[in-house]
A and B are shown apart, each in its own frame.
Chain A
Amino acid sequence: MNAYNFAYLDEQTKRMIRRALLKGMAIPGYQVPFASREMPMPYGWGTGGVQVSAAVMTPEDCFKVIDQGADDTTNAVSIRRFFQATAGVAVTEKTAEATVIQTRHRIPERDLVEGQILVYQVPIPEPLRFLEPSEVETRKMHALEEYGLMHVKLYEDIARHGDISTSYAYPVKVEGRYVMDPSPIPKFDNPKLSMAAIQLFGAGREQRIYALPPYTEVVSLDFEDYPFQAGRADHDCDLCGADNSYLDEVITDDAGGRMFVCSDTDFCSERREAGHVGALGVEAVA
């Protein structure tokens, strides 16, 4: 009756991916090679994340997908539908209800809890890549803990822009050992990388998996005289008034009207349902 195995991938492939995930959990921040499979969607859509989600998913799971914080983009909707169709799992837009959350470019605002799994879609897993194109050499650098080059990148940032201008995919050091690319999340999210939930990272095209077990120590790299700053737009959310969330700037009309709204749509709507109203909130709802 069903043309696919549960969650599309065959059991042998899922076992192979789970082995890579377990190895990744055992060596936090270490990139584990895995034999990435063809998925019925383009690479840019997060096939690495999809394979990881498929490997950890059980029929009892409740699945949520966010793309830049939103549940309703084409990408998020497609992946959610994919697992509804192939795994028949429950889906949700509520961060609190989800047991597996697949994400592109954000960590939910609401603190995740033990028992939840956050799956990241990763385009380029190797943080040293942009300065050292040789894969052989970067592997050696990881193995021997030679991370001076990472600071060269930050040095170049400051030399050119007066400050560490890297605002996405900001490199971190995991448990004092491996330097890791947290995927293109805003650096605003970096402090949340030490969390109660399990975090799994899947890079499909690059065939790499890595992981952060709960409560892993994750430190953003910086200089003593240019300490890491999470940064945030100097605004409150115009819809819900939140002063602690990551904001998107949204164009509201052709006359150059703009507003700032929470990038995490579930977080914002929960606050509004709870009665919080931002500066433009009433107008926007009406």
Chain B
Amino acid sequence: MKDMAMTEAGLSPLLRVEGLAKRYGARIGCTEVSFDLWPGEVMGIVGESGSGKTTLLNCLAGQLAPDAGRVLFDTRGRGMVDTLTMSESERRMLGRTDWAFVHQHAQDGLRMNVSAGGNVGERLMAVGAQHYGDIRDKAIDWLDRVEIAEDRVDDRPSAFSGGMRQRLQIARNLVTGPRLVFMDEPTGGLDVSVQARLLDLLRGLVREMGLSAIIVTHDLAVVRLLADRLMVMKSGHVVETGLTDQVLDDPQHAYTQLLVSSVLQV
């Protein structure tokens, strides 16, 4: 009864993760990961290289099959459903409607031989849009929102700079109004000034659209700016969780303290 009332009041998590684990042979990728993500919340996952962030994100997003655990998503049609046991067809449908995935390397998330407009329009066409003019208008609108000029709409991403490619990838992902966005090191590999611009843009979009997101990064500046809550990972384990400011300003776990201080030294 109480659960139902909470659900009706919109008080159900968007994503509920229970006991997620993934091994590579004897090596732990990630293990014993459990958390809730609430609508409109941005969760940051931080930790040094090799700590299991990408493994966890790929398991959450259905791109990697975990060995144990459940990933429950609040679907539009059926409420909380374990995305690991749903049919591949349903999971792929989620992947191009309610979910979005921003890859660290833009070329992994773009079609390099398709124009910017076609890249943004693909998700619209994937869900049945069949009016060229409408698709193009939406694509141009989204290019504008990620600060790519309209006259680049017919250019291919191969002609774009790294920062533009990443912004194009973001537009391509957000055009269908996803309810949950996964991002893996979205600012990784970019020049510092380009990173700053991208972060500002992401922060604007997150606020404007009320996005729910899970952002993986080794860069604490990214989560400081974007994340409401943090999960700190070490050797595949979550060692600390909490509100972003709390974790960064008053880290409890020795590893987090190290992580935070090493950033301060930089």
Contacts and interface: CB of A to CB of B under 8 A. Distances in A.
Given A146-B126, A152-B114, A223 B92 contact: no
A156 B115 CA distance: 7
Contacts of A149: 122, 125-126
Contact of B131 (A144, A156, A224): A224
B136 A159 contact: yes
A155 B132 contact: yes
Contacts of A151: 125, 129-130
Contacts of A223: 130-132
Interface in B120-166: 121-123, 125-127, 129-133, 135-136, 153-154
B265 interface: no
Given A223-B130, A224-B130, A159 B122 contact: no
Interface string B80-115: 000000001100100010000000000000010111
A124 B86 CA distance: 34
B47 interface: no
Interface string A210-247: 00000000000011111000000000000000000000
Number of contact residues on A: which range applies?
10 to 19
B131 A225 contact: yes
A157 to B, nearest CB: 10
Interface string A121-160: 0000000000100000000100010101101100110111
Contact of B117 (A131, A155, A226): A155
B135 A155 contact: yes
A226 B122 contact: no
Nearest to A130: B113
Contacts, number: 58
A152 B135 CA distance: 10
A152 B92 CA distance: 18
B89 A152 contact: no
A131 B89 contact: no
Contacts of A148: 96, 122-123, 125-127
A160 B153 CA distance: 11
A160 B154 CA distance: 7
Interface residues of B, number: 25
Contacts of A146: 92, 126
A225 B114 contact: no
Given A131-B113, A155-B125, A156-B114, A144 B133 contact: no
Given A152-B125, A159-B154, A225 B118 contact: no
Contact of A159 (B113, B117, B127, B131): B117
Contacts of A225: 131-133
B266 to A, nearest CB: 40
Given A146-B92, A148-B127, A155-B125, A226 B132 contact: yes
A156 B118 contact: yes
Max chain B C-beta neighbours (<10 A), residue from A158, A159, A160: A159
B258 to A, nearest CB: 42
A159 B133 contact: no
Nearest to B87: A144
Nearest to B122: A152
Given A156-B118, A159-B154, A223-B131, A144 B111 contact: no
Given A146-B126, A223-B132, A225-B133, A155 B89 contact: no
30 contacts: A131-B113, A131-B114, A140-B92, A144-B92, A146-B92, A148-B122, A148-B125, A148-B126, A148-B127, A149-B122, A149-B126, A151-B125, A151-B129, A151-B130, A152-B121, A152-B125, A155-B118, A155-B125, A155-B132, A155-B136, A159-B136, A159-B153, A159-B154, A223-B131, A223-B132, A224-B130, A224-B132, A225-B131, A225-B132, A225-B133
Given A144-B89, A156-B115, A223-B130, 7 more contacts: A148-B96, A148-B125, A158-B132, A160-B154, A223-B132, A224-B131, A224-B132
